[in-house]
Structure 1
Amino acid sequence: MSDPGVAAPQAGSPKKARAVPVWARKSTLVLLIALLALAAFGTTTQTWMTATLDPNQVGQAGAAQSVIQVQGSKAATTVTALALVALAGGLAAAIAGRIARWVITAIIVLASAGVVTAAATVLADPLAAAQGSIASATGVSGSQAHVELTPFPVLAVVAGCLLALAALLILPASRYWKARTKYDAAGAAGTTAAGAAAPAGPVDEIDSWDRLSRGEDPT
Protein backbone atom coordinates (compact mmCIF):
# COMPACT_ATOMS: atom_id res chain seq x y z
CA MET A 1 0.00 0.00 0.00
CA SER A 2 1.50 3.27 -1.07
CA ASP A 3 1.91 6.21 1.25
CA PRO A 4 -0.66 8.84 0.35
CA GLY A 5 1.72 11.54 1.54
CA VAL A 6 4.24 10.74 -1.20
CA ALA A 7 3.26 11.81 -4.66
CA ALA A 8 3.74 9.18 -7.34
CA PRO A 9 6.09 10.17 -10.15
CA GLN A 10 4.33 11.26 -13.29
CA ALA A 11 4.87 9.15 -16.39
CA GLY A 12 5.46 12.16 -18.56
CA SER A 13 7.94 13.91 -16.24
CA PRO A 14 11.17 14.93 -18.01
CA LYS A 15 14.35 13.00 -17.24
CA LYS A 16 17.13 14.65 -15.34
CA ALA A 17 19.75 16.24 -17.60
CA ARG A 18 22.88 14.16 -18.05
CA ALA A 19 25.82 15.58 -16.16
CA VAL A 20 28.66 16.81 -18.35
CA PRO A 21 32.12 15.56 -17.31
CA VAL A 22 34.70 18.22 -16.61
CA TRP A 23 36.89 17.13 -19.53
CA ALA A 24 33.94 17.33 -21.92
CA ARG A 25 32.84 20.85 -21.08
CA LYS A 26 33.14 23.06 -24.09
CA SER A 27 34.73 25.98 -22.28
CA THR A 28 37.28 23.68 -20.60
CA LEU A 29 38.29 21.89 -23.79
CA VAL A 30 38.50 25.04 -25.90
CA LEU A 31 40.60 26.72 -23.21
CA LEU A 32 42.90 23.69 -23.04
CA ILE A 33 43.47 23.68 -26.81
CA ALA A 34 44.09 27.43 -26.79
CA LEU A 35 46.62 27.17 -23.96
CA LEU A 36 48.51 24.30 -25.63
CA ALA A 37 48.58 26.13 -28.97
CA LEU A 38 49.86 29.26 -27.25
CA ALA A 39 52.45 27.16 -25.42
CA ALA A 40 53.75 25.79 -28.72
CA PHE A 41 53.76 29.30 -30.16
CA GLY A 42 55.50 30.67 -27.08
CA THR A 43 58.41 28.26 -27.41
CA THR A 44 59.29 29.77 -30.78
CA THR A 45 59.89 33.16 -29.17
CA GLN A 46 62.64 31.65 -27.01
CA THR A 47 66.19 30.55 -27.80
CA TRP A 48 66.23 26.98 -29.08
CA MET A 49 69.98 26.63 -29.54
CA THR A 50 73.29 28.38 -29.07
CA ALA A 51 75.87 27.96 -31.83
CA THR A 52 79.56 28.52 -31.06
CA LEU A 53 81.40 29.21 -34.32
CA ASP A 54 84.84 28.00 -35.37
CA PRO A 55 86.90 31.19 -35.96
CA ASN A 56 89.16 29.35 -38.39
CA GLN A 57 86.22 28.79 -40.76
CA VAL A 58 84.25 32.02 -40.48
CA GLY A 59 87.32 34.29 -40.52
CA GLN A 60 87.20 37.93 -39.56
CA ALA A 61 83.63 38.31 -40.80
CA GLY A 62 82.34 36.01 -38.07
CA ALA A 63 84.91 36.69 -35.38
CA ALA A 64 82.73 39.43 -33.89
CA GLN A 65 79.85 36.97 -33.49
CA SER A 66 81.47 33.78 -32.28
CA VAL A 67 78.32 32.79 -30.34
CA ILE A 68 74.92 32.96 -32.02
CA GLN A 69 71.59 32.39 -30.29
CA VAL A 70 68.93 30.95 -32.58
CA GLN A 71 65.27 31.48 -31.75
CA GLY A 72 62.68 28.82 -32.41
CA SER A 73 60.96 30.99 -35.01
CA LYS A 74 64.16 30.82 -37.07
CA ALA A 75 65.14 27.25 -36.32
CA ALA A 76 61.65 25.87 -37.11
CA THR A 77 59.70 28.50 -39.00
CA THR A 78 56.62 26.34 -39.52
CA VAL A 79 55.93 25.89 -35.80
CA THR A 80 54.76 29.48 -35.41
CA ALA A 81 52.24 29.27 -38.24
CA LEU A 82 50.97 25.80 -37.29
CA ALA A 83 50.45 26.83 -33.67
CA LEU A 84 48.30 29.75 -34.82
CA VAL A 85 46.30 27.41 -37.09
CA ALA A 86 45.65 25.11 -34.13
CA LEU A 87 44.62 28.07 -31.98
CA ALA A 88 42.12 29.27 -34.58
CA GLY A 89 40.78 25.74 -34.97
CA GLY A 90 40.21 25.35 -31.26
CA LEU A 91 38.24 28.58 -31.11
CA ALA A 92 36.23 27.63 -34.20
CA ALA A 93 35.30 24.26 -32.69
CA ALA A 94 33.24 26.07 -30.06
CA ILE A 95 30.71 27.30 -32.64
CA ALA A 96 31.03 24.67 -35.36
CA GLY A 97 28.47 22.06 -36.27
CA ARG A 98 28.91 18.30 -36.10
CA ILE A 99 30.48 17.84 -39.52
CA ALA A 100 32.64 20.94 -39.19
CA ARG A 101 33.99 19.66 -35.87
CA TRP A 102 35.36 16.57 -37.64
CA VAL A 103 37.12 18.80 -40.15
CA ILE A 104 38.46 21.10 -37.43
CA THR A 105 39.70 18.15 -35.40
CA ALA A 106 41.60 16.84 -38.41
CA ILE A 107 43.13 20.27 -39.04
CA ILE A 108 44.31 20.64 -35.43
CA VAL A 109 45.76 17.12 -35.39
CA LEU A 110 47.63 17.75 -38.65
CA ALA A 111 48.91 21.08 -37.33
CA SER A 112 50.04 19.38 -34.13
CA ALA A 113 51.83 16.71 -36.14
CA GLY A 114 53.59 19.46 -38.07
CA VAL A 115 54.71 21.11 -34.84
CA VAL A 116 56.11 17.84 -33.51
CA THR A 117 57.83 17.01 -36.80
CA ALA A 118 59.46 20.43 -37.12
CA ALA A 119 60.69 20.44 -33.53
CA ALA A 120 61.91 16.84 -33.78
CA THR A 121 63.85 17.75 -36.92
CA VAL A 122 65.70 20.44 -34.97
CA LEU A 123 66.47 17.96 -32.20
CA ALA A 124 67.74 15.41 -34.72
CA ASP A 125 70.06 17.82 -36.57
CA PRO A 126 70.50 21.12 -34.70
CA LEU A 127 73.46 22.25 -36.81
CA ALA A 128 71.41 22.09 -40.01
CA ALA A 129 68.63 24.06 -38.33
CA ALA A 130 71.12 26.72 -37.24
CA GLN A 131 72.78 27.15 -40.63
CA GLY A 132 70.37 29.84 -41.75
CA SER A 133 71.04 32.01 -38.71
CA ILE A 134 74.80 31.38 -38.97
CA ALA A 135 74.84 32.39 -42.64
CA SER A 136 72.83 35.55 -41.89
CA ALA A 137 75.21 36.56 -39.09
CA THR A 138 78.52 35.73 -40.77
CA GLY A 139 77.80 35.70 -44.48
CA VAL A 140 79.36 32.23 -44.68
CA SER A 141 77.18 29.19 -45.39
CA GLY A 142 78.01 25.62 -44.44
CA SER A 143 80.10 26.59 -41.42
CA GLN A 144 80.86 24.12 -38.67
CA ALA A 145 79.80 25.06 -35.17
CA HIS A 146 79.24 23.55 -31.77
CA VAL A 147 75.50 23.70 -31.13
CA GLU A 148 73.90 23.38 -27.71
CA LEU A 149 70.16 22.89 -27.47
CA THR A 150 67.88 24.46 -24.87
CA PRO A 151 64.81 22.69 -23.41
CA PHE A 152 62.39 24.63 -25.64
CA PRO A 153 62.46 22.28 -28.67
CA VAL A 154 61.52 19.43 -26.33
CA LEU A 155 58.74 21.55 -24.84
CA ALA A 156 57.46 22.22 -28.37
CA VAL A 157 57.29 18.46 -29.01
CA VAL A 158 55.42 17.89 -25.74
CA ALA A 159 53.00 20.76 -26.46
CA GLY A 160 52.35 19.41 -29.95
CA CYS A 161 51.60 15.90 -28.69
CA LEU A 162 49.26 17.16 -25.97
CA LEU A 163 47.58 19.46 -28.48
CA ALA A 164 46.80 16.52 -30.77
CA LEU A 165 45.33 14.54 -27.85
CA ALA A 166 43.22 17.51 -26.79
CA ALA A 167 41.94 17.89 -30.35
CA LEU A 168 40.88 14.23 -30.45
CA LEU A 169 38.78 14.85 -27.33
CA ILE A 170 36.55 17.19 -29.36
CA LEU A 171 34.74 14.27 -31.00
CA PRO A 172 33.61 12.39 -27.86
CA ALA A 173 33.12 15.60 -25.89
CA SER A 174 30.86 17.16 -28.53
CA ARG A 175 28.23 14.53 -27.75
CA TYR A 176 27.54 16.46 -24.55
CA TRP A 177 27.37 19.82 -26.31
CA LYS A 178 24.08 21.36 -27.27
CA ALA A 179 23.11 21.59 -30.92
CA ARG A 180 23.94 24.96 -32.45
CA THR A 181 22.14 24.91 -35.81
CA LYS A 182 18.79 23.71 -37.07
CA TYR A 183 20.58 21.00 -39.01
CA ASP A 184 22.29 19.69 -35.89
CA ALA A 185 19.01 19.85 -34.01
CA ALA A 186 17.23 17.87 -36.73
CA GLY A 187 19.83 15.12 -36.66
CA ALA A 188 20.25 14.87 -32.89
CA ALA A 189 18.27 12.20 -31.07
CA GLY A 190 15.63 13.29 -28.64
CA THR A 191 15.56 16.93 -29.73
CA THR A 192 12.67 19.05 -28.65
CA ALA A 193 10.10 20.45 -31.06
CA ALA A 194 10.55 23.94 -32.49
CA GLY A 195 9.64 26.61 -29.97
CA ALA A 196 9.81 24.28 -26.99
CA ALA A 197 11.80 25.36 -24.00
CA ALA A 198 15.39 24.08 -23.82
CA PRO A 199 16.02 21.36 -21.20
CA ALA A 200 17.49 22.46 -17.94
CA GLY A 201 21.20 21.88 -17.54
CA PRO A 202 24.53 23.57 -16.92
CA VAL A 203 25.24 26.53 -19.17
CA ASP A 204 28.83 27.49 -19.87
CA GLU A 205 30.16 30.89 -20.90
CA ILE A 206 30.05 30.17 -24.64
CA ASP A 207 26.40 29.03 -24.49
CA SER A 208 25.52 32.21 -22.59
CA TRP A 209 27.05 34.41 -25.28
CA ASP A 210 25.25 32.45 -28.02
CA ARG A 211 21.91 32.90 -26.29
CA LEU A 212 22.51 36.61 -25.82
CA SER A 213 23.37 36.96 -29.52
CA ARG A 214 20.00 35.34 -30.37
CA GLY A 215 18.20 37.75 -28.08
CA GLU A 216 17.53 35.17 -25.38
CA ASP A 217 18.07 35.60 -21.66
CA PRO A 218 20.42 32.81 -20.42
CA THR A 219 19.40 33.51 -16.83
Structure 2
Amino acid sequence: MSTKPVQAAPRWRRKSTVVFGTVLLGAAAFGTTTRTWLDVVLPQAAVNTPDIAVAGSEAATAVTAFAVVAVAAALAASIAGKVARWIIAAVLLVAGIGVAYASWAVIQDPAQGAAGAVGKAIGVGGSAGAEVTVTAMPYLAAAAGVLIVLAGVWLAAASRSWPVSRRYAAQPATGAAVKGESTEPPIDEIDSWDRLTKGEDPTNYR
Protein backbone atom coordinates (compact mmCIF):
# COMPACT_ATOMS: atom_id res chain seq x y z
CA MET A 1 0.00 0.00 0.00
CA SER A 2 1.47 3.33 -1.05
CA THR A 3 1.42 6.26 1.30
CA LYS A 4 1.39 9.91 0.34
CA PRO A 5 4.42 11.88 1.46
CA VAL A 6 3.77 14.34 4.27
CA GLN A 7 3.93 17.84 2.90
CA ALA A 8 5.90 20.37 4.89
CA ALA A 9 3.98 23.32 6.26
CA PRO A 10 4.34 26.57 4.33
CA ARG A 11 7.29 28.59 5.55
CA TRP A 12 5.07 31.39 6.88
CA ARG A 13 3.31 28.93 9.19
CA ARG A 14 6.41 27.29 10.64
CA LYS A 15 7.06 27.83 14.33
CA SER A 16 10.67 28.87 13.80
CA THR A 17 9.66 31.49 11.23
CA VAL A 18 6.92 32.99 13.38
CA VAL A 19 8.96 33.04 16.58
CA PHE A 20 12.10 34.40 14.93
CA GLY A 21 10.18 37.04 13.01
CA THR A 22 8.33 38.24 16.09
CA VAL A 23 11.51 38.35 18.16
CA LEU A 24 13.12 40.51 15.47
CA LEU A 25 10.21 42.94 15.58
CA GLY A 26 10.39 43.25 19.35
CA ALA A 27 14.15 43.68 19.19
CA ALA A 28 13.76 46.33 16.49
CA ALA A 29 11.32 48.30 18.65
CA PHE A 30 13.72 48.02 21.59
CA GLY A 31 16.66 49.03 19.42
CA THR A 32 15.04 52.31 18.45
CA THR A 33 14.88 53.32 22.12
CA THR A 34 18.67 53.26 22.32
CA ARG A 35 18.88 55.88 19.58
CA THR A 36 18.12 59.60 19.59
CA TRP A 37 14.40 60.38 19.30
CA LEU A 38 14.47 64.11 19.95
CA ASP A 39 17.03 66.81 19.24
CA VAL A 40 16.57 69.72 21.62
CA VAL A 41 18.07 73.18 21.25
CA LEU A 42 17.75 75.24 24.44
CA PRO A 43 17.87 79.02 24.61
CA GLN A 44 21.48 80.19 24.51
CA ALA A 45 21.12 81.98 27.84
CA ALA A 46 19.80 78.89 29.62
CA VAL A 47 22.90 76.66 29.65
CA ASN A 48 26.43 76.58 28.31
CA THR A 49 25.65 73.51 26.16
CA PRO A 50 22.25 74.16 24.60
CA ASP A 51 22.00 71.02 22.46
CA ILE A 52 20.47 67.87 23.97
CA ALA A 53 19.92 64.47 22.34
CA VAL A 54 17.02 62.63 23.99
CA ALA A 55 17.05 58.86 23.58
CA GLY A 56 13.85 56.90 23.12
CA SER A 57 14.34 55.17 26.47
CA GLU A 58 13.96 58.58 28.11
CA ALA A 59 11.37 60.11 25.80
CA ALA A 60 9.07 57.07 25.91
CA THR A 61 9.97 54.60 28.65
CA ALA A 62 6.83 52.56 27.89
CA VAL A 63 8.19 51.60 24.47
CA THR A 64 11.17 49.88 26.08
CA ALA A 65 8.95 47.93 28.45
CA PHE A 66 6.46 46.84 25.79
CA ALA A 67 9.28 45.82 23.42
CA VAL A 68 10.79 43.57 26.09
CA VAL A 69 7.36 42.02 26.69
CA ALA A 70 7.00 41.33 22.97
CA VAL A 71 10.36 39.56 22.80
CA ALA A 72 9.62 37.47 25.90
CA ALA A 73 6.17 36.53 24.58
CA ALA A 74 7.60 35.44 21.23
CA LEU A 75 10.17 33.21 22.91
CA ALA A 76 7.52 31.71 25.19
CA ALA A 77 5.42 30.82 22.15
CA SER A 78 8.07 28.31 21.09
CA ILE A 79 7.26 25.99 24.01
CA ALA A 80 3.69 26.98 24.80
CA GLY A 81 0.65 24.77 24.31
CA LYS A 82 -2.37 25.60 22.19
CA VAL A 83 -4.25 27.58 24.85
CA ALA A 84 -1.13 29.42 25.97
CA ARG A 85 -0.40 30.47 22.39
CA TRP A 86 -3.71 32.30 22.20
CA ILE A 87 -2.86 34.11 25.42
CA ILE A 88 0.56 34.99 24.04
CA ALA A 89 -1.03 36.27 20.84
CA ALA A 90 -3.21 38.57 22.96
CA VAL A 91 -0.11 39.74 24.86
CA LEU A 92 1.57 40.58 21.55
CA LEU A 93 -1.47 42.61 20.51
CA VAL A 94 -1.31 44.63 23.72
CA ALA A 95 2.47 45.06 23.49
CA GLY A 96 2.27 46.20 19.87
CA ILE A 97 -0.49 48.68 20.61
CA GLY A 98 1.52 49.98 23.57
CA VAL A 99 4.65 50.49 21.46
CA ALA A 100 2.73 52.23 18.67
CA TYR A 101 0.70 54.44 21.02
CA ALA A 102 3.66 55.55 23.14
CA SER A 103 5.72 56.30 20.04
CA TRP A 104 2.93 58.27 18.41
CA ALA A 105 2.43 60.26 21.61
CA VAL A 106 6.03 61.49 21.37
CA ILE A 107 5.56 62.34 17.70
CA GLN A 108 2.43 64.34 18.48
CA ASP A 109 3.90 66.13 21.51
CA PRO A 110 7.71 66.09 21.32
CA ALA A 111 8.00 68.88 23.88
CA GLN A 112 6.41 66.66 26.50
CA GLY A 113 8.76 63.83 25.59
CA ALA A 114 11.75 66.14 25.99
CA ALA A 115 10.53 67.77 29.23
CA GLY A 116 12.43 65.40 31.51
CA ALA A 117 15.76 65.87 29.70
CA VAL A 118 15.32 69.63 29.59
CA GLY A 119 14.54 69.68 33.30
CA LYS A 120 17.77 67.84 34.06
CA ALA A 121 19.76 70.24 31.88
CA ILE A 122 18.46 73.53 33.25
CA GLY A 123 17.09 72.45 36.61
CA VAL A 124 13.56 73.59 35.78
CA GLY A 125 10.72 71.31 34.70
CA GLY A 126 9.19 71.76 31.26
CA SER A 127 10.64 72.66 27.89
CA ALA A 128 9.34 76.19 27.37
CA GLY A 129 11.51 78.09 24.93
CA ALA A 130 13.26 74.97 23.68
CA GLU A 131 13.25 73.95 20.04
CA VAL A 132 12.49 70.22 19.75
CA THR A 133 13.00 68.24 16.54
CA VAL A 134 11.73 64.69 16.07
CA THR A 135 14.09 62.19 14.41
CA ALA A 136 13.05 59.16 12.37
CA MET A 137 13.30 56.77 15.34
CA PRO A 138 9.82 57.36 16.83
CA TYR A 139 8.28 56.69 13.42
CA LEU A 140 10.24 53.45 13.10
CA ALA A 141 9.16 52.43 16.60
CA ALA A 142 5.52 53.15 15.78
CA ALA A 143 5.82 51.05 12.63
CA ALA A 144 7.40 48.23 14.65
CA GLY A 145 4.49 48.43 17.08
CA VAL A 146 1.98 48.00 14.26
CA LEU A 147 3.96 45.03 12.95
CA ILE A 148 4.01 43.45 16.42
CA VAL A 149 0.21 43.69 16.47
CA LEU A 150 0.13 41.91 13.11
CA ALA A 151 2.59 39.36 14.49
CA GLY A 152 0.07 38.55 17.22
CA VAL A 153 -2.52 37.81 14.55
CA TRP A 154 0.11 35.86 12.60
CA LEU A 155 0.90 33.73 15.65
CA ALA A 156 -2.76 32.98 16.31
CA ALA A 157 -3.31 31.90 12.70
CA ALA A 158 -0.11 29.96 12.14
CA SER A 159 0.06 28.15 15.48
CA ARG A 160 -3.22 26.36 14.89
CA SER A 161 -1.34 23.77 12.83
CA TRP A 162 1.66 23.43 15.14
CA PRO A 163 1.98 19.96 16.69
CA VAL A 164 2.33 19.67 20.44
CA SER A 165 5.89 18.67 21.25
CA ARG A 166 6.10 15.15 22.72
CA ARG A 167 8.95 16.30 24.93
CA TYR A 168 6.69 18.65 26.83
CA ALA A 169 3.40 16.83 26.44
CA ALA A 170 1.69 15.54 29.56
CA GLN A 171 2.43 11.90 30.30
CA PRO A 172 -0.50 9.51 30.80
CA ALA A 173 -1.23 8.45 34.35
CA THR A 174 -0.50 4.82 35.13
CA GLY A 175 -2.09 2.42 37.54
CA ALA A 176 -0.51 0.77 40.55
CA ALA A 177 3.12 -0.28 40.34
CA VAL A 178 3.67 -3.57 38.54
CA LYS A 179 6.58 -5.88 39.40
CA GLY A 180 8.38 -3.20 41.36
CA GLU A 181 8.16 -0.57 38.63
CA SER A 182 7.29 2.87 40.02
CA THR A 183 4.53 4.93 38.52
CA GLU A 184 5.30 8.48 37.39
CA PRO A 185 2.89 11.38 37.83
CA PRO A 186 1.78 13.23 34.71
CA ILE A 187 3.44 16.55 34.10
CA ASP A 188 1.84 19.46 32.36
CA GLU A 189 3.35 22.33 30.40
CA ILE A 190 3.60 24.58 33.47
CA ASP A 191 5.60 21.88 35.29
CA SER A 192 7.84 21.54 32.23
CA TRP A 193 8.45 25.28 32.19
CA ASP A 194 9.28 25.26 35.92
CA ARG A 195 11.76 22.44 35.39
CA LEU A 196 13.39 24.28 32.49
CA THR A 197 13.79 27.49 34.51
CA LYS A 198 15.58 25.44 37.19
CA GLY A 199 17.90 23.93 34.59
CA GLU A 200 16.36 20.47 34.90
CA ASP A 201 15.34 18.03 32.19
CA PRO A 202 11.49 18.02 32.13
CA THR A 203 11.52 14.44 30.79
CA ASN A 204 13.48 13.14 33.77
CA TYR A 205 11.05 12.38 36.57
CA ARG A 206 13.51 10.82 38.96
TM bucket, shorter chain: 0.7 to 0.9
The answer (yes or no) to whether the contact 2:36–2:137 under 8 Å persists in 1 is yes
The Cα shift of 1:18 comes to 3.6
Question: Which residue number in structure 2 is paired with residue 40 of structure 1?
Answer: 29
Counterpart AA for 2:32: T
CA RMSD of aligned residues (A): 2.0
Q: CA deviation at 1:144?
A: 2.2
Please tell me whether Structure 1 or Structure 2 has the larger radius of gyration of its CA atoms. Answer: 1
Partner of 1:80: 64
The TM-score with structure 2 as length reference comes to 0.78
For each residue in 1:82-137, what CA deviation from the matched residue of structure 2 results, as whole angstroms up to 9, or x when unmatched? Answer: 10110000000011001000111101110110000000000000011101110011
- Unaligned stretches of 5+ residues in structure 2: 171-200
3-state secondary structure, aligned to 2:5: coil
Structure 2 Cα separation of the partners of residues 23 and 93 of structure 1? 15
Percent same amino acid among aligned pairs?
A: 44
2:159 to 163, 168, 174: 174
Amino acid at match of 1:167: G
Q: Runs ≥4 in structure 1, deviation > 4 angstroms?
A: 212-215
Quote the offset at 1:19 in angstroms: 2.6
Distance of 2:81 and 2:4 partners within structure 1: 25
Distance 1:85 1:116 in 2: 14
Q: CA deviation at 1:15?
A: 4.4
| Aligned position for 1:199 | none
Alpha-carbon distance in 2 for matches of 1:172, 1:141: 47
**SS at 1:118 equivalent:** helix
Judge conservation of contact 1:65–1:138 (CA < 8 Å) in 2. no
Amino acid of the structure 2 residue aligned with 1:128: Q
Counting matched residue pairs gives 172
| TM-score normalised over the length of structure 1 | 0.73
Q: Which moved more, 1:160-169 or 1:172-181?
A: 172-181
C-alpha distance in 2, partners of 1:100/1:15? 32
2:15 alignment counterpart: 26
2:144 matched residue in structure 1: 159
Query: Are 2:88 and 1:104 aligned?
Result: yes
- Which residue of structure 2 lines up, in the alignment, with residue 146 of structure 1? 131
